[in-house]
């Protein structure tokens, strides 16, 4: 499978498949495709279906297969931002925010990831439940805004404002810390809690979380009478 990512800030990944090659995506993710692409909808079992539901995705996934020759299929981002491709192996799963998964080659699995530390789940801004992308293949994830990536050394930490953490390697640990000082809490204009991640591993930060965008838009909308 060959692919091309284009069109930021409203990006799309265009994939060219070999004959009988298959890709998986969330329901509704397909934007356009060649007429020889065959679609099948699958739940993958009750356990996987409910796991996807808790991680913010739809219950069903679509499988697209190129029939009678090479095929083409495109998956567009649902929000202004970026699309990034990651090679997934059994030793390199990744953890993503809800709704980050866009599409993947067969062999990639999407499941639910529970934060081991309850505080990180309730106050870290990423939610108690995140997505785990594992298996073996190529996965595409979508990120809100632009992407900034860091490689953390063992024990190295980064303090992140709520909602800016888009993805991390499964080796990265996540926790939260409360903002110190009464003045900082009351007048600092920041969140009450910050997300703290500890290496080793990659972290992917997004510059415009959807929640921040929604807040900015709502602040300038006229009030309903």
pTM of this prediction?
Answer: 0.81
**What is the tens place of the pLDDT at every residue in 3-39?**
999 998 899 999 999 999 999 998 888 999 999 999 9
Question: Is residue 224 pLDDT above 50, yes or no?
Answer: yes
User: Which residues, 6+ apart, have CB-to-CB distance to 127 below 8 Å?
Assistant: 56, 97, 98, 115, 121
pLDDT the model gives residue 45 = 44
Nearest to 98 by CA among 19, 26, 11: 26
List pLDDT tens digits, range 175-211.
Answer: 887 765 454 444 444 556 788 999 999 999 999 887 6
Task: Out of 114-128, 153-167, 185-199, 211-225, give the one with best mean pLDDT.
Answer: 153-167
pLDDT in tens, 118-153: 444 444 445 557 899 999 999 999 999 999 999 999
- Least confidently predicted of 76-80, 85-89, 93-97: 76-80
189: left (phi over 0), alpha (psi -120 to 50) or beta: left
Query: From CA 132, how far away is CA 95, in angstroms rounded?
Result: 5
Nearest to 42 by CA among 56, 61, 27: 61
- Rounded mean pLDDT of the chain? 82
3-state secondary structure of 133: strand
Domains and CATH numbers, the chain: 2-218 (3.60.160.10)
User: DSSP state, 103?
Assistant: E
Contacts of 97 (CB under 8 A, 6+ apart): 126, 127, 130, 131, 165, 166, 167
Q: Which residues of 104-126 are buried (b: 16+ CB within 10 A; e: fewer)?
A: bbebbbbbbbebeeeebbebbbb
């Amino acid at each position: 499978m060959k692919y091309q990512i284009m069109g930021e800030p409203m990006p799309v990944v265009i994939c060219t498949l070999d004959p009988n090659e298959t890709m998986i995506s969330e329901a509704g993710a397909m934007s356009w495709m060649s007429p020889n692409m065959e679609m099948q909808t699958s739940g993958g079992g009750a356990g996987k279906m409910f796991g996807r539901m808790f991680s913010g995705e739809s219950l069903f996934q679509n499988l697209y297969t190129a029939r009678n020759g090479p095929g083409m299929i495109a998956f567009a981002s649902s929000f202004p931002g970026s699309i990034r491709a990651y090679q997934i192996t059994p030793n390199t799963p990744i953890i993503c925010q809800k709704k980050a998964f866009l599409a993947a080659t067969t062999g990639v699995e999407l499941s639910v990831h529970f934060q081991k530390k309850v505080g990180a789940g309730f106050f870290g801004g990423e939610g108690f439940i995140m997505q785990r992308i594992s298996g073996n293949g190529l996965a595409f994830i979508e990120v809100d805004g632009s992407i900034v990536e860091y490689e953390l050394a063992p024990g190295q930490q980064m303090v992140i404002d709520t909602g800016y953490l888009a993805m991390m390697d499964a080796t990265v640990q996540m926790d939260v810390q409360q903002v110190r000082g009464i003045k900082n809490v009351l007048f600092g204009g920041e969140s009450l809690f910050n997300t703290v991640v500890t290496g080793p591993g990659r972290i992917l930060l997004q510059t415009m979380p959807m929640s921040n965008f929604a807040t900015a838009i709502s602040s300038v909308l006229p009030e309903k009478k």
